Amino acid sequence: MPFVNIRILEGHSQKRKDEISRRVTEAISEVAELPREAIWVVFEDVAASDWFVGGTAVGKPKSQ
């Protein structure tokens, strides 16, 4: 059973997470020839102040 853990900046809408989850699930299901029910997707929201790129904290997520 594939388990996908997605870390994402907090502030993304549930609608956006639903769409990401749907697409990830569909891709894994198709490539691995597994039923969608066997694929787990979990989101971890991370505060922008805790997410760094090149030593600098990132900003807020782009508009939804």
Domain assignments of the chain as residue spans, ordered by start: 3-49
pLDDT of residue 55: 87
pLDDT of residue 64: 52
At residue 60, the pLDDT reads 61
- Which residues of the chain fall below pLDDT 50? none
Tokens of 19: 């769409």
Please give the sequence-ordered ranges of beta strands (E in DSSP) within 18-62, or none if there are none: 40-46, 52-53, 56-57
Structure confidence at residue 13 (pLDDT): 96
Overall fold of domain 3-49: Macrophage Migration Inhibitory Factor (3.30.429)
Tokens of 61: 């997520």
pLDDT at res. 20: 98
Q: Return the C-alpha torsion angle 18, 21, 27, 31, nearest 10.
A: -140
Q: Which residues are catalytic?
A: 2
